[in-house]
Structure 1
Amino acid sequence: MDKLEKSSHNLIFYIQHNVPIIQLGKAAISLLAMYYMSNKIKCALFDPLNNIPGPFYRRFFPHFGNIGLKSGERFRLTEYYHRKYGHVVRVGPDALSVSDKDIIKQILVIDDFEKGPAYSRLQNGGEASMLDLISKDLHRRRRRAISPAFSTKYIKSLEPFFASSVESLIKKIDSEIEKTKGNEEFGTIDIWHITKCMALDVIGETAFGGTFNMIDNDDHIVPSTILKLMKILEFVISYPWVTKIPFLKRNKRIPQLSNFVKNLIKSRLESNVKRDDILQILVDTMEAEDKRDRLTEYEIITETILFLVAGSETTSNTIGFALIEMCRNPDSLEKLFIEIDGVDLDGGSNVFNQNQLKNLPYLNAIIKETMRLNTMPANGLERMVTRDIILKGDIFVPKGTKVRCNISVAQVHPEYWSNPSAFKPERWLEDSNEKASPSAYFPFSAGSRNCIGKDFALNEMRLVLATLIKHYYIEPIPEQMVAAMEKRHYLTLTIASSSFKIRMKRRFS
């Protein structure tokens, strides 16, 4: 501190005596550097968070640990910290990562703190979607305006659109089997890619009044553009300083996706034809009685991009992980075959309806266990503590601390789960001896900021998995199983190869 005071006096002296600008600049830089370091040292040595364990260097440089990590592997570092330091880890000068289920509930549900600054880095030039809105009040208004598009009744009305996309999926798989089948009638299918295209077509059918035909158009620009966007945004979160670079503003770095959505919305506004879909619900908010509930055209674009990206990636990736897990665990696959074979398709239909699937215990257990082991927000959910709080009765956390709720660690913690790394759908069944721990399970987040599209996603997962199991035999490909072990996180959990191939054969014609 003495050196800082001396540098300040020197700078004042230089200014008073008309010292040359270069020397003055050097003095100013020296002063700023010393001020920065003195704050860092003070924070590292005398901060209220000092009694919380964590890597010492992160008290000074919270993002330094990301250097050297493979793209998309930041979540592995946090997992390591929790294994080494416990449920509550200091990961920055003013940041914690927590995996204790009760603390997660306190932060997300009981105290219901607003989202942290990491989400603001996802915003498009200051324009926020429901995902990255920081203000709880603004989020509440936006959610109220959009919620009719995700009501149980409305989602039920979308069932024919879901069915249409799944029918297209069946036709595409049949076509690929015919092209690639060998002597045993099995064909090779990139199920990861094809279900991603199908998920986008579901959004086209339900949100925009017609399919995008991405299942049949392997060269469509949107799937690859979404992956590029996810990688860019993950980089922005890992290295926040890049948000200061003007040419990296989001609206400039994803023009293909923005233009795709803009053209869809422009076409709807110009047609003056009202359709019974999600986009129409968003467009109708422009004339809402309460001005606070009105969305601008730009806000509609922002929400539509969010729905397009989040609605396709999280759902299709979970379907993909479910198939990977069942290929690793053939006993689980066989049990699902037996359950699905006990349900008859309606006459003439290739696709189930939701009433047939929503209460199937083993199908739903497969989905729950997949989401437990393959948490989409694997890097956690950041919240900003807006007042001094106490965690678990004795951990003081001052106002202004960022707390990242690491649900992926909680969902595999041996304190809450027996055989935590094992894929055991049975733990979710009522008559099982090995019980799940619902209080340590947060696949769709929790509290006021939980996922608005939960029911939409679950309907799609059930429908796709049940239909695939009903119509096809599935066999793993050994080298593909090895490659699928390499996971990455680009805002949502995925696999490094962005491809997972299996062998499939028709069970009946």
Structure 2
Amino acid sequence: MQSSGLSSIWDQLQINDWLPSSFLVETTLLILLIYLITHYGLLFRETYTKSRKISERVGVDEKNRHWFFGHLKHITNNEEGLLKFVELAKAFPLMVSLWLGPALTTVQTYHPDSTTALLNSGAPKNDLGYRFIRTWIGDGLLTSKGKKWFRNRRLLTPAFHYKVLKPYTEVFNKNSLVMVNKLNKLCDQPVNIYTHVGLMTLDTMLQCAMTSKTNCQHVTDHPYLLAVKEISDLIIARVRQPLHFFDWMYNLSAAGKRNKEVTKILHEHTEKIISERKAVLAKTANIDPEPSDVEGFRKTEGKTLDFLDILLQCKDENGEGLSDIEIRDEVDTFLFAGHDTTSSGIAWAMFHLAKYPQFQTKCREELKEVLGNKDEIEWSDLPQLVYLTMFLKESMRLRPPVYAVGRYLEHPITIKDKNTKRDTVIPAGTNVSMHIFTLHRHPDFWDEPSKFDPERFTKENIAKRPAFAYVPFSAGSRNCIGQNFAMNEMKISLAHVIRNLRLYIDDETPVPKMQPRLILQSSTGIFVKIEKLERQ
């Protein structure tokens, strides 16, 4: 009896102890819930009110705006969505407010009057899409801002000096011919050239940036290439899912967890390359290095000065170099920007060569006249390839690898409409994008915008257009630092293809469908057919 009484008392004490604890937990959770609802409710209201005011200033397509998804259901992430954007420019010729959900909007510019004001403002990249790519490329030149961007841009400028770029022509020639020899074995069948071009540009970037010898052109399932494609898909999917804008929600999702796994693969690849170069430098620390052609930098015996050499040696006015994290960020940025965007440009140009045989023939005739019987394209040949350059520019007009860029206004900008004489002030704190794809097809500046015509880029025709009507590498202070590198690689690669192969398409060739990922790709692949040519 006594034992039973003690047990009853003990049970009662446990119940009494549990009740206050449970009440405290429930009360805490309720307070937290009220706080979150209030916090995000106020944030939603503030963002929505600001977005409404901006939309009233610049114009908005209310007819196709969904109450929750905004315009994301109308401007879809495919070729149809891109072409709808071009149609939208007919109703809103200067700019338009694009809603990315129930509360958030971004101002889209695609007219020289509006893009000029944006690009001359020096505004940094915004955090809409670029925030999501930072987990991969960190705070490199593409995403950094303020003093850090200005310092690092200045430190990296020597990496794109013509004396550094000139020796890369040897790499461009060699790797282009490797790709051509591969394609020679795939004649008379539809070939998805994007894979082959992607491997070639990756091989080129690894050699030019890090003098890293690889065999990746012969490995179709290269892990870095696969990881780049997957991280691109993950980032674009996140941009188009409003709930995943919240980091904590995205990190708990399956996509967020996979993002971390793929990012780890990419970072380990870069860190391995950097580690190997540091080991080489450590071994040769006591050996007098050779002076390079670029003042202030030295190269290791037996190799040319490359991008990684400059990252490891550059110093600012205070004698401070880049940290290990900064070096990794810049290498990741360079590998992504120099490999993925260039492969897009080359692949789409090869498709245009196949689709328009009359222009392919003109390019081939020019190459024969300029190069004669030479096997390789030399640095001095590049300025003479006038028609090939015009063809390439027209290809990037219709299918620009970078189809849009985003900015965040730290200061207000005034957009002047030269036709109506109306000024529109876009306030600080606004996300503004330049939709390059639409700009390059704007009917006010391009006759028959969808027609492929390299003659648009004669000196006479260029002079008739505003400077910012064509900006495949952006423009202003934050233009692409590697545009000369990219143009040289694309011209040399295309020259070797044109001299050795005839590209064509027929009824058996799948039709490519443009798809905006991190860069402009095709959801169905980019297929052509190939015929081997005998060089005369």
- Output the TM-score relative to the length of structure 2: 0.79
Question: In the alignment, which residue of structure 2 is the partner of 1:11?
Answer: none
Q: Which residue of 2 aligns with 1:357?
A: 382
CA 51–360 in structure 1, closer or farther in 2 if over 3 Å, else same = same
C-alpha contact (below 8 Å) 1:373/1:408 kept by paired residues = yes
- Match of 1:335? 362
Please tell me whether the aligned partners of residues 354 and 463 of structure 1 are also in contact (alpha carbons under 8 angstroms): no
Of residues 443, 450, 455 in structure 2, which corresponds to 1:421? Answer: 450
Cα distance in 2 between the residues matched to 1:436 and 1:360: 22
CA deviation after TM superposition for structure 1 residue 294, in Å: 1.8
The alignment status of 1:483 with 2:494, answered yes or no, reads: no
2:472 alignment partner in structure 1: 443
Return 164-173 or 236-245, whichever deviates more. 236-245
Q: Which whole-Å CA distance do the structure 2 matches of 1:432 and 1:387 have between them?
A: 35
Q: Which moves more between the two structures, 226-235 or 451-460?
A: 226-235
Shift of 1:390: 2.4
**Matched residue pairs, number?**
473
Change (3 A) 1:94 1:64: closer
Match of 1:153 among 153, 156, 163: 163
Deviation (angstroms), 1:478 = 2.9
Match of residue 405, structure 2, among 381, 384, 389? 381
Paired residue for 1:284? 313
Q: Which of the residues 89, 94, 116 maps onto 2:96?
A: 89
Shift of 1:204: 2.0
- Closer, same or farther: CA 170–187 of 1 in aligned 2, 3 Å: same
How far 1:65 moved relative to its partner? 3.0
- Structure 2: distance between partners of 1:479 and 1:353: 37
Q: Displacement of 1:327 after TM fit?
A: 1.9
| Structure 1 SS opposite 2:217 | coil
| Alignment of structure 1 residues 257-276 onto 2, 5 Å | 257-272=266-281, 273=284, 274=300, 275=303, 276=305
Between the aligned partners of 1:77 and 1:62, the Cα distance in structure 2 is 20
Q: Which amino acid aligns with 2:530?
A: R
Deviations 1:383-435 (A, max 9, x none): 22223332114212222111111222111111011111110001212467996
Task: Summarize the alignment of residues 453-464 of structure 1 with structure 2, pairs less than 5 Å apart.
Answer: 453-464=482-493
1:51-450 equivalences under 5 Å are 51-56=57-62, 64-67=70-73, 75=82, 78-92=85-99, 93=104, 95-109=106-120, 111-118=121-128, 119-124=130-135, 127-133=138-144, 135-174=145-184, 176-177=185-186, 181=187, 186=188, 189-239=191-241, 241=245, 243-244=247-248, 245-246=250-251, 248=256, 252-272=261-281, 273=284, 274=300, 275=303, 276-285=305-314, 288=315, 290=317, 294-345=321-372, 347=374, 350-378=375-403, 380-392=404-416, 393-430=422-459, 438-450=467-479
SS at match of 1:219: coil
Q: Does the residue aligned with 1:295 lie in a helix, a strand or coil?
A: coil
Task: Give, in angstroms, the shift of residue 171 of structure 1.
Answer: 2.7
Asked whether the equivalents of residues 99 and 405 of structure 1 are also in contact (C-alpha less than 8 Å), the reply is yes
Q: Which runs of 5+ in 1 are unaligned?
A: 1-18
Cα RMSD of the aligned pairs, angstroms, is 3.1
Structure 1 31/200 Cα, relative in aligned 2: closer, same or farther at 3 Å?
A: closer
Contact 2:137 2:333 in 1 (8 A): no
1:14: which partner in 2? none
Identical amino acids, percent of aligned pairs? 22
CA contact (8 A) 1:488 1:496 kept: yes
Letter in 2 for 1:391: I
Distance in 2 separating the partners of 1:76 and 1:494:
15
SS in 1 for 2:218: coil
Distance 2:365 2:207 in 1: 31
| 8 Å contact kept, 1:428–1:435 | no
Alpha-carbon contact 1:190-1:502 (below 8 Å) kept: no
- Structure-2 change in CA distance of 1:151 and 1:84 (3 Å): same
Distance 1:451 1:32, change over 3 A: closer
Q: 2:520 is aligned with what amino acid?
A: L
Contact 2:155–2:316 under 8 Å retained in 1: no
User: 2 CA distance for matches of 1:214 and 1:322?
Assistant: 22
Question: Are the counterparts in 1 of residues 194 and 347 from structure 2 also a CA contact under 8 Å?
Answer: yes
The answer to whether the 8 Å contact 2:65/2:74 transfers is no
Please state whether the residue corresponding to 1:357 is helix, strand or coil: helix
Q: CA offsets, 1:15-54, max 9 Å, x none?
A: xxxx966776676566557645654664466x36523321
After superposition, what is the alpha-carbon deviation per residue over 1:190-241, rounded to whole angstroms, capped at 9, x for unaligned? 3222121111111122122133222122232222221112112222333351
* C-alpha distance 43-112 of structure 1, shift in aligned 2 (>3 A): closer
Shift of 1:59: 8.8
Inter-partner Cα distance in structure 1 for 2:322 and 2:260: 19
- Give unmatched runs, 5+ long, in structure 2: 1-25, 285-299, 417-421
User: What SS is found at the alignment partner of 1:455?
Assistant: helix
Aligned equivalents of 2:37 and 2:165: distance in 1?
A: 61
CA contact (8 A) 1:197 1:223 kept: yes
**1:3 aligned residue:** none
Change (3 A) 1:346 1:329: closer
Alpha-carbon displacement from aligned partner over 1:283-342 (angstroms, at most 9, x marks no partner)? 223xx3645752122221221122112211111211111121222222212211221221
TM-score (norm 1): 0.83
Deviation at 1:351, TM superposition (A): 2.1
* Alignment-derived partner of residue 529 in structure 2: 502
Contact 2:190–2:528 under 8 Å retained in 1: yes
1:24 and 1:257 map into 2 onto residues whose CA distance is: 41
Instruction: Quote how far apart the aligned CAs of 1:62 are.
Output: 8.1
Question: Distance in 1 between the 2:452 and 2:125 partners?
Answer: 32
C-alpha displacement at 1:189, in angstroms?
4.0
Tell me which residue corresponds to 2:294.
Answer: none
Q: 1:339 to 1:139 in 2, by over 3 A?
A: same
1:21 and 1:204 mapped to 2: Cα distance? 54
Report the CA distance shift for 1:456/1:260 in structure 2 as closer, same or farther (over 3 A): same
1-structure distance, mates of 2:47, 2:66: 6
- Please give the alpha-carbon distance, in whole angstroms, between the structure 2 residues aligned to 1:284 and 1:251: 31
